Amino acid sequence: MTLVTACIYCIKVLTLALKRQWGAILIIGVVSQKGGVCKSTIVRLLSREYSDNDWNVKIADMDSKQGTCTRWNMTRNDSKIEPVVKTEQYRSVKDAIGDYQKNNIDLMIFDGAPSSSTLTLQIARESNLVILPTGISVDDLEPTVKLAHELIKHNIERNHIIIVFCRVGDSTVELSEAKQYIEQSGFKVIKAVLPDRVAYRRAQDIGKSVSETNYKTLNQKASNIVQELVNLINKLK
Ligand SMILES: Nc1ncnc2c1ncn2[C@@H]1O[C@H](COP(=O)(O)OP(=O)(O)OP(=O)(O)O)[C@@H](O)[C@H]1O
Ligand SMILES: [Mg+2]
């Protein structure tokens, strides 16, 4: 058994345990005011891994202008990549919520749109966990922390907000300074990070998630993110 298979198996055990424990629909919102910080990447990753663990997952693609996840899923379906991931574009968060109530969905993952404060807040209000993906430059960190504070101001609980570092370069100093920046702001960032790699981009271009590249070590790094988020969700309930 390869390392990656072993890790995915380990995620399987945890998420299945979680599904029984959760007992109701789980809603994850992936949001940021900034564009290009990996919102859709994290959404695709989570949807792939949870679907692979027998959860009935739906991506609510709220980015009507770009429809990134919708387009990605069409490519995935055309190429018949397993597991099947479901995606739908909704006019409003309310419409999406109405849909899961009708369709027996276990997990709904909202893919937010950049520069939309109202939509971001609506998604956050419905979510059990709000994920803020971000790059690690100060240009990216500042608006991320600002948004996290905004969410708190609007009564989103602090322990329901988690930051994920994406497109991380090779400098350990830069990474450790970014972690410090977040910790000093009073928010939490997961340990696992998504490095900046061409292979991740190329995988998503052909309908795969960042845990489905041709490289075991990269898949493992992406799986580590899922594992940490699963552990976190487990603690929320
Ligand atoms: N780890 C990575 N390494 C290299 N490229 C990446 C990585 N993660 C994502 N990308 C690429 O970066 C681009 C932006 O990612 P993504 O679409 O997930 O961001 P987004 O926050 O959803 O953007 P938008 O705000 O436009 O919706 C995409 O082309 C994606 O393939
Ligand atoms: Mg997007």
CATH number of the domain to which 168 belongs: 3.40.50.300
**Ligand 1 atom closest to the CA of 201, numbered from 1:** 31
Assess if residue 40 is contained within a domain: yes
Q: List pLDDT tens digits, range 86-100.
A: 999 999 999 999 888
Assess if residue 2 is contained within a domain: no
Whole-number Å distance, alpha carbon 180 to ligand 2 midpoint, is: 27
Q: List pLDDT tens digits, range 177-225.
A: 999 999 999 999 999 999 999 999 999 999 999 999 999 999 999 999 9
Q: Which string of DSSP letters, residue by residue, matches 4-45?
A: HHHHHHHHHHHHHHHHHHH-S-EEEEE--SSSSSSHHHHHHH
Whole-number Å distance, alpha carbon 133 to ligand 1 midpoint, is: 10
How many domains, in total, are found in the chain?
Answer: 1
Assess if residue 12 is contained within a domain: no
Assess if residue 193 is contained within a domain: yes
Whole-number Å distance, alpha carbon 21 to ligand 2 midpoint, is: 30
- Ligand 1 pocket check for 185: Cβ under 6 Å: no
Which pLDDT does position 24 carry in this prediction? 75
CA distances from 124 to 53, 54, 117, 147, 148 (A): 25, 25, 10, 11, 10
Domain enclosing residue 190, as ranges: 26-236
Assess if residue 188 is contained within a domain: yes
Assess if residue 7 is contained within a domain: no
Assess if residue 15 is contained within a domain: no
Assess if residue 8 is contained within a domain: no
